[in-house]
A and B are shown apart, each in its own frame.
Chain A
Amino acid sequence: MDYLYLENVTKTFDKVVAVDRVTLGIGKTEFFALLGPSGCGKTTTLRLIAGLEQPTAGRIYIDGREVTNLPPQERNVAMVFQDYALYPHMTLFENIAYPLKVRKVSKREIAAKVHEVAEHLMIAELLDRLPSQVSGGQQQRAAVARALVHAPKVFLFDEPLSNLDAKLRIEARAFLKHLQKEIHVTTVYVTHDQAEAMAMADRIGVMFAGKVVQVGAPLELYRFPKTKEVAAFLGNPPMNILPGRVQPVTDGSQFVGEGFVLSLPGVHIPPQEIYLGFRPEHAKIDVEPKDCAIRARIYAVQPLGSEVWITLQVGNYTVTVKMFAEGMPQVAEEVWLILDQNKIHLFDSAGQRLSPCG
Chain B
Amino acid sequence: MQKKSSSLVLSTSTGLIFLAPALLFIALFLFFPLVWVLIISLTDTTLTGPAAVSPSFVGISNYVRLFDLSRWMRLGNFGNALRNTVIFVLGSAIFGQVPLGLAIALAFHRRKGLLREIVFSLATVAWILPGVAVAFAWIAFLDRDFGTFNALLALLGFPKIDWYFDYPLYAIIIFNIWRGTAFSMLLFSAALGNIPPSYWETADVIGASAWQRFKDIIFPLVRPNLFTALILVTLWTFNVFTPYLITGGGPLYRSETVPIFTYRVAFKFFEFGKGAAIAVVMMTINFILASFYLLMQRRRPR
**A residues in contact (CB < 8 Å) with B:** 52, 71-72
Contact = CB atoms under 8 A, between A and B. Distances in A.
Nearest to B4: A54
Nearest to A71: B8
Majority-rule SS of B interface residues:
loop
Interface in B1-51: 8
Contacts of A71: 8
A234 B151 CA distance: 83
B3 to A, nearest CB: 14
A52 B7 CA distance: 9
Majority-rule SS of A interface residues:
loop
Size category of the binding interface on chain B: under 10
3 contacts: A52-B8, A71-B8, A72-B8
A215 B262 CA distance: 76
Contacts of B8: 52, 71-72
A54 B180 CA distance: 52
A141 B8 CA distance: 26
Interface of B: 8
Contacts of A72: 8
Contacts of A52: 8
Nearest to A53: B8
A72 B8 CA distance: 9
A52 B9 CA distance: 10
B83 to A, nearest CB: 55
A71 B8 CA distance: 8
B117 to A, nearest CB: 27
Nearest to A51: B8
A120 to B, nearest CB: 30
Which 3 residue pairs are nearest across A and B when measured between Cβ atoms?
Answer: A71-B8, A52-B8, A72-B8
Nearest to A73: B8
B11 to A, nearest CB: 11
A52 B8 CA distance: 7
A55 to B, nearest CB: 14
B48 to A, nearest CB: 56
A212 B8 CA distance: 27
Nearest to A72: B8
B152 to A, nearest CB: 51
B250 to A, nearest CB: 55
B172 to A, nearest CB: 47
B5 to A, nearest CB: 12
B168 to A, nearest CB: 53
A319 B164 CA distance: 87
A302 B8 CA distance: 51
A38 B164 CA distance: 70
A72 B9 CA distance: 11
A170 B8 CA distance: 35
A102 to B, nearest CB: 13
A223 to B, nearest CB: 42
B81 to A, nearest CB: 52
B56 to A, nearest CB: 56
A129 B253 CA distance: 65
B1 to A, nearest CB: 12
A107 to B, nearest CB: 26
A71 B7 CA distance: 12
Nearest to A52: B8
B295 to A, nearest CB: 30
